[in-house]
Amino acid sequence: MHPLESVPNFSEGRDRATVALIGEELARFAKLLDVHSDADHNRSVYTFVGNEEQIVDALLAGIAAAVERIDLRAHEGVHPRIGVADVVPVVAVRRDDAELARETARIAARRIGDELGLPVFLYGEIGDGRGPAFFRQGGPEELQRRIDAGELAPDFGPAKLRPSAGGVIVGARRPLIAFNVNLAHADLDAAKEIARVVRERDGGFPGVRALGLELPRAGHAQISMNVEDWEASALHDIVAAIEREAEARGVEIAGSELVGLMPAGAAIAAAGALLRISSFDASHVLELRLLE
Amino acid sequence: MHPLESVPNFSEGRDRATVALIGEELARFAKLLDVHSDADHNRSVYTFVGNEEQIVDALLAGIAAAVERIDLRAHEGVHPRIGVADVVPVVAVRRDDAELARETARIAARRIGDELGLPVFLYGEIGDGRGPAFFRQGGPEELQRRIDAGELAPDFGPAKLRPSAGGVIVGARRPLIAFNVNLAHADLDAAKEIARVVRERDGGFPGVRALGLELPRAGHAQISMNVEDWEASALHDIVAAIEREAEARGVEIAGSELVGLMPAGAAIAAAGALLRISSFDASHVLELRLLE
């Protein structure tokens, strides 16, 4: 059993050779489970598992490849970012391994700064609770300005961003679900309004971060979400709320999209709701019982 | 990893001491995962896993306890049955182990006949395709009459049923889902009509067997189902059909009930439908990927 998972987001979702190369580098050291690329976001999310050492070695190799292949100055995409390896979370598969995840994230962060020469910013539990958005606001130029003004400083690596590579945000977190709902048309206003209704910041679901985005290549608008606590905010309740909001605006939903993998519990909760089985949980699923 | 599962149904769902004792006997040899007792059915369904030898030893011990503790002559319940250990399926957890499951069922059947002195009837894949219902029609008295008339014969054990213990139906099968939908009121006619709409025999869903039952103790009627091929007939489609049929009759649904455990794939399919994720399957669920 692999105790740790990492889900780095790299700023390339169009060039297949680069996406494949980063995956190969990660897979040299850890078990790569999923790659999700999006051309509009121009971003790829890799999911892999391993032990402490495998996770760190894979991240170093993958980020080195990204620095080599991606030029942030030529990058454009609808998702905010500050680096070619934009955000690098380390996740404990089991809650008991949370400290191992934090320790592994710190080791990876230090080595990314020292060995790859990139400015590294700690976020979340190991970074004073600040989220990735804190570092991304205004993009890499604004980040450099804030560093120069003394408003913030990298935790590892140089204080000067390399313009081609940018900075890296590293943290440890609980499993989250990256989940997008696509509207059938390119109605950016509706997507932004619905994102505001569901996200915690504006009084929506606890632990939900959401952005309304327009995806010109796919030809639709999207509510792009991170569901950080799927026990507090059930995925199926969020989807139901989005369906209601869309219907109220006369907007159709094209479908949903999972980025990476979903923790079993969130899928089980949705199944129990649709099948109307009260108190349905992972203990009622054969394969999950065999993991015990 | 345990290669085999067994899901024996015993004819006792009211006396807690007997239900517990049978569970203890099963757990002496195999890993007991679930016990589902129903007072109206007056029946308990045990789910346990193990290897070939553990499964056989557990079944012998559990059935011996049932013979000792349960008197079929005093048994009444809404579910048809012909013995204290009524039906004994052995299930391969992975499809590759189907032959092991059949072989284990045959070994268990022979030993139940030889060592416990009960008439044993093979069903399903190892019994000319005949299902449990073939043996149950008319109850134990009718079964004895058919044996005496030469219409059928036990595969193992004596040709004479012990009135207190009855006969045992043993088979190997693919995983199935035992799943009940409860109506809010004791409307037996509606339950029977809806059961007819959904079951394969009357033109409903492939691989679905269904009975309409009245549960006087619980105070409602029930559509009691076995879903034998949840890939062909998705559980959430069956529930949706029952909801439509109930609504058309002005009948409310109280909720659903799972008997035993659900294969992960069926829950994942329901989750994908509710969350509107196309092509969502077990490969997108973290814990299930870690089983690889």
The string of DSSP letters for A13-69 reads SS-HHHHHHHHHHHHTTSEEEEEEEETTTTEEEEEEEE-HHHHHHHHHHHHHHHHHH
Nearest CA in chain A to B260: A284
HSE at residue B292, side-chain half, CA atoms within 13 A, is 13
**Which neighbouring-strand residues pair with B120?**
B156, B168
Q: From residue B184, how far is each of A37, B38, B192, B216 by CA, in Å?
A: 47, 17, 14, 12
- What is the distance of C-alpha A9 from the center of its chain? 6
What is the distance between the alpha carbons of residues B249 and B243, in angstroms, rounded to a whole number? 10
Q: CB–CB of B275 and A256 under 8 A?
A: yes
Nearest CA in chain A to B35: A284
Helix axes B52-69, B16-27, angle to 10 degrees: 160
Q: CB–CB of A291 and B286 under 8 A?
A: no
Residue A22 burial (10 A CB sphere; 0-12, 13-18, 19+): buried
Beta-strand relationship, A85-92 and A168-173: parallel
Burial B114-133 (b: 16+ CB within 10 A, else e): eebebbbbbbbebbeeebbe
pLDDT for the residue numbered B95:
86
Residue A185 burial (10 A CB sphere; 0-12, 13-18, 19+): middle
Average pLDDT over residues B241-247: 97
Q: If you ran DSSP here, which 8-state letter would residue A165 be given?
A: T
Nearest CA in chain B to A176: B286
What is the distance between the alpha carbons of residues B72 and B85, in angstroms, rounded to a whole number? 10
Residue B83 burial (10 A CB sphere; 0-12, 13-18, 19+): buried
For tokens 């299902």, the residue is B131
Q: Where in chain B is the domain with CATH 3.30.990.10?
A: 4-173
Beta-strand relationship, B43-50 and B177-183: unpaired
Task: Give the closest-approach CA distance of A67 to chain B in angstroms.
Answer: 28
Residues of chain A contacting residue B291, judged by C-beta atoms under 8 Å apart: 287, 290-291
Catalytic residue among A36, A41, A75, A79: A79
- Interface A:B, Cβ pairs < 8 A: 130
pLDDT level of residue B53 (50, 70, 90 thresholds): very high
What is the distance between the alpha carbons of residues B288 and B292, in angstroms, rounded to a whole number? 7
Q: What is the ipTM of this complex?
A: 0.89
What is the distance between the alpha carbons of residues A170 and B289, in angstroms, rounded to a whole number? 24
Of A236, A239, A290, the CB nearest to B49: A290
pLDDT for the residue numbered B94:
87
pLDDT for the residue numbered B1:
73
CB atoms within 10 A of CB B255: 14
Q: Which CATH architecture has domain A4-173?
A: 2-Layer Sandwich (3.30)
Sign of CA dihedral B96, B99, B101, B104: negative
Q: CB–CB of B285 and A262 under 8 A?
A: yes
What is the distance between the alpha carbons of residues A265 and B287, in angstroms, rounded to a whole number? 9
pLDDT for the residue numbered B290:
85
Provide CB contacts within 8 A for A215, sequence distance 6+: A38, A40, A41, A78, A182, A186, A221, A222
What is the distance between the alpha carbons of residues B33 and A246, in angstroms, rounded to a whole number? 43
SS3 A188: helix
Is A79 an annotated catalytic residue?
yes
The token duo for B88 is 């004994």
Burial A199-208 (b: 16+ CB within 10 A, else e): bbeeebbebb
Task: Give the closest-approach CA distance of A111 to chain B in angstroms.
Answer: 27
DSSP for B78-143 reads SS--SBSEEEEEEEESSGGGHHHHHHHHHHHHHHHHHHH---EEEEETTTTT--HHHHHTTHHHHH
The token duo for A180 is 């997008």
% of residues, chain B, pLDDT over 90: 92
SS3 B75: coil
For tokens 């195999």, the residue is B30
- What is the distance of C-alpha A248 from the center of its chain? 29
Smallest CA-to-CA distance from B11 within B90, B58, B73 is with B73
Beta-strand relationship, B220-227 and A85-92: unpaired
Q: What is the pLDDT along chain A (292 residues), one digit of tens a residue?
A: 789 999 999 999 999 999 999 999 999 999 999 999 999 999 999 999 999 999 999 999 999 999 999 999 999 988 889 999 999 999 999 889 999 999 999 999 999 999 999 999 999 999 988 999 999 999 999 999 999 999 999 999 999 999 999 999 999 999 999 999 999 999 999 999 999 999 999 999 999 999 999 999 999 999 999 999 999 999 999 999 999 999 999 999 999 999 999 999 999 999 999 999 988 999 999 999 987 7
Q: From residue B274, how far is each of A251, A274, B282 by CA, in Å?
A: 18, 7, 15
SS3 B24: helix
Does the structure show a pLDDT above 90 at B291?
A: no
Catalytic residue among B2, B79, B185, B236: B79
Residue A16 burial (10 A CB sphere; 0-12, 13-18, 19+): exposed
The token duo for B114 is 């030889």
pLDDT in tens, B101-158: 999 999 999 999 999 999 999 999 999 889 999 999 999 999 999 999 999 999 999 9
**Which neighbouring-strand residues pair with A226?**
A178, A209
Q: Which CATH superfamily is domain B177-261 in?
A: Formiminotransferase, C-terminal subdomain (3.30.70.670)
Does the structure show a pLDDT above 90 at B2?
A: no
What is the distance between the alpha carbons of residues A165 and A73, in angstroms, rounded to a whole number? 8
Q: Where in chain B is the domain with CATH 3.30.70.670?
A: 177-261
pLDDT in tens, B180-232: 999 999 999 999 999 999 999 999 999 999 999 999 999 999 999 999 999 99
Residues of chain B contacting residue A282, judged by C-beta atoms under 8 Å apart: 287
Smallest CA-to-CA distance from A169 within A201, A208, A121 is with A121
pLDDT for the residue numbered A276:
96
Residues in chain B whose Cβ is within 8 Å of chain A: 1-2, 5, 33-34, 49, 93, 175, 179, 181, 235-236, 239, 253, 255-258, 261-264, 266-268, 270-271, 273-278, 280, 282, 284-291
